[in-house]
């Protein structure tokens, strides 16, 4: 007999083949270019103008949505509390349950991931957050207290029980909710219940909140541009600002992840409200997703700094049919753009090669640098360089020096090159050595500022170098 997770995985393969979205997957919304129908037994259910999702059985009531009226009078009283600076200086490293298990989540699966952090050396590499996504709660709140209740069939010891076990391993735990009336899978949302829910999570020992964007009442949507074109004062931002304020009132410090899918110009205000913010819809284990999110984020990198990170969504390493080269690029791009890295697979099934990718010490050191918070940015690597989408050449600095990252976006092996004097910050004189961050070995030879370096890069692969001045 198939388990739910096995059945969902099988349906996902079949629905991809027939051009349909699988269980709980996105099936519509502004800018959505994927399937717009769901497998048999699942209905494409409207949530808001930006998101429709495949839900099963008796679907939650949705709002009529569209460009509803603005919330009159809310702006004058909206909180302006900034996010905590006691956490979130560096982009998060951890794991999230959604990509691996969807709604088939349980205490045993959370603890499987937490224990894998220890046995696979991920904790030693810096990974710390073990995050529970949607479907962890009961469908109704406690009738007396109004609090969200865990689904005790999935979490027999409650969320506080699993939190205690995760903390005993020296790790941190995250939870999921929604800045709407319901979560994307139809469980209780936290809109208008922010203080109560923040206190509940604090009582349970929660360290991280992923806050989604489904089932938003029409009067909380943005009819047009906000007052003075300031998106910090949009209805969308204000919904998330209420949770920022609520989190500031509880004793437990939580990292705050704004899951708003790149809507409402979030990169303009996200750093004033949370520690990271999603830049797009849900990830998928495809090369097309990787290139699209890299390209999108390449134009928004000025928003990323200490305590503020563009979120390119959860890792797909170990999922789908990504080649090893594509998985290297997946990891490297999240690294050099300083996106949060939340692994999203059954960690016990990762190969040695995949583990070596996600535990690479030198790449993680760039990502977790406590001296330099800026990401790498596109640069013109040599005279006459053609433009590509996404950009292929990036440079950035760390406490160890200057770095160059090169993606081969073509479908075949290609020679890539850069001139040292073109790398920002190196200048037009001096001599340099080149260090391969993947292998931990120096490249043979010494280079002058006017020298060009060429390397053969496999299709969809990424090379990473640190430049050492000699």
Confidence (pLDDT) at 39: 87
Q: Which CATH number fits domain 93-368: 1.10.3720.10, 3.40.309.10, 3.40.50.2300, 3.20.20.70?
A: 3.20.20.70
Residue entry with tokens 């999110």: 293
State the catalytic residue, choosing from 133, 212, 311, 461.
Answer: 212
Share the mean pLDDT of the chain: 92
Residue entry with tokens 């909140």: 209
Q: Residue 47: pLDDT above 50?
A: yes
Active site residue 282: yes
Rounded distance between C-alpha atoms, residue 337 and residue 340, angstroms: 9
Strands (E), 171-253: 172-178, 208-212
Q: How far is CA 97 from CA 25, 102, 117, 294, in A?
A: 14, 7, 14, 23
Q: 377-469 domain in CATH 2.100.10.30?
A: no
Give domain limits for the chain.
25-56, 93-368, 377-469
Confidence (pLDDT) at 22: 79
Confidence (pLDDT) at 16: 43
Residue in 175, 239, 184 with CA at minimum distance from that of residue 215: 184
Confidence (pLDDT) at 49: 60
Structure tokens at 420: 């040292």
Residue 84 is given by DSSP the state P
Active site residue 212: yes
> What pLDDT digit, counting tens, does each position of 315-345 carry?
999 999 999 999 999 999 999 999 999 999 9
State the catalytic residue, choosing from 133, 178, 282, 369.
Answer: 282
Are residues 190 and 141 in contact, defined by beta-carbon separation less than 8 angstroms?
Answer: no
> What pLDDT digit, counting tens, does each position of 352-406 carry?
999 999 999 999 999 999 999 999 999 999 999 999 999 999 999 999 999 999 9
């Amino acid at each position: 007999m198939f388990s739910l997770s096995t059945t969902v995985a099988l349906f996902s393969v079949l629905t991809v083949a027939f051009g349909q979205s699988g269980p709980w997957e996105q099936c519509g919304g502004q800018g959505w270019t994927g399937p717009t129908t769901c497998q048999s037994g699942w209905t494409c259910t409207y949530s808001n103008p930006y998101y429709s999702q495949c839900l099963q059985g008796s679907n939650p009531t949705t709002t009529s949505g569209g460009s509803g009226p603005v919330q009159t009078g809310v702006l004058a009283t909206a909180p302006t509390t900034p996010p905590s600076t006691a956490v979130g200086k560096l982009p998060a490293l951890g794991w999230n349950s959604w990509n691996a298990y969807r709604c088939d989540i349980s205490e045993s699966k959370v603890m499987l991931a937490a224990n894998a952090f220890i046995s696979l050396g991920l904790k030693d590499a810096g990974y710390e957050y073990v995050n529970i996504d949607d479907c962890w709660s009961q469908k109704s709140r406690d009738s007396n207290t109004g609090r969200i209740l865990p689904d005790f069939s999935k979490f027999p010891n409650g969320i506080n029980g699993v939190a205690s076990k995760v903390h005993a391993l020296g790790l941190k735990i995250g939870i999921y909710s929604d800045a709407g009336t319901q979560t994307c899978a139809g469980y209780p949302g936290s809109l208008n219940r922010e203080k109560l829910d923040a206190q509940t999570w604090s009582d349970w020992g929660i360290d991280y909140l992923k806050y989604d964007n489904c089932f938003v009442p029409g009067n909380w949507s943005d009819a047009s541009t906000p007052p003075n074109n300031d998106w910090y004062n949009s209805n969308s931002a204000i919904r998330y600002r209420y949770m920022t304020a609520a989190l500031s009132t509880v004793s437990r410090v939580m990292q705050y992840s704004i899951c708003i899918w790149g809507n409402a110009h979030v990169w303009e205000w996200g750093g004033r409200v949370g520690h990271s913010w999603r830049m797009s819809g849900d990830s998928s284990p495809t090369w097309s997703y990787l290139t699209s999110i890299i390209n999108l984020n390449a134009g928004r990198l000025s928003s990323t700094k200490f305590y503020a990170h563009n979120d390119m969504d959860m890792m797909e390493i170990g999922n789908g049919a990504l080649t090893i080269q594509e998985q290297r690029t997946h990891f490297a791009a999240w690294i050099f753009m300083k996106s949060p890295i939340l692994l999203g697979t059954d960690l016990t099934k990762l190969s040695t090669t995949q583990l070596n990718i996600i535990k690479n010490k030198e790449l993680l050191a760039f990502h977790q640098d406590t001296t330099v918070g800026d990401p790498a940015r596109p640069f013109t690597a040599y005279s006459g360089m053609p433009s590509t989408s996404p950009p292929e050449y990036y440079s950035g600095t760390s406490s160890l020096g200057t770095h160059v990252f090169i993606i081969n976006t073509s479908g075949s092996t290609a020679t890539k090159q850069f001139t040292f004097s073109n790398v920002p910050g190196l200048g037009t004189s001096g001599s340099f050595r080149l260090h391969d961050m993947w292998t931990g070995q120096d490249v043979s030879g010494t280079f002058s500022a006017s020298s060009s370096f060429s390397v053969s890069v496999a299709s969809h692969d990424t090379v990473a170098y640190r430049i050492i001045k000699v």
